[in-house]
Amino acid sequence: MDGWTLIHSDSMPFGAEVCRARLEEAGVKAVVLNKQDSSYGMFGPVEVYVPQDDFERAQTALAAPEEGGQPT
């Protein structure tokens, strides 16, 4: 994927979708690439990519606490 950088890898599609949603809420374009084996869904990663130009902004967005989360 030319021009795109891996920002997150997960073993569960739901985790990758949550990551993608957080990035898009922050105004960062993101795509999910599911590399799991189609016969055995538990093998292989589900990856989230962002444009290279937005990588630092994406890292900042993911490092910020989720809104509505419980205080620690």
Where are the chain's structural domains? 1-37+56-72
- Reduced to 3 states (helix: H, G, I; strand: E, B; else coil), residue 34 is strand
Q: How far apart are CA 57 and CA 37, in angstroms?
A: 31
Tens of pLDDT, residue by residue, the chain (72 residues) = 789 999 999 988 899 999 999 999 999 999 999 988 777 657 889 999 999 999 999 999 999 887 655 554
Choose among 60, 11, 66: nearest CA to 48: 11
Q: What per-residue confidence (pLDDT) applies to 72?
A: 44
- Contact at 8 Å (CB) between 9 and 32? no
Q: What per-residue confidence (pLDDT) applies to 5?
A: 96
Burial class (CB in 10 A: 0-12, 13-18, 19+), 28: buried
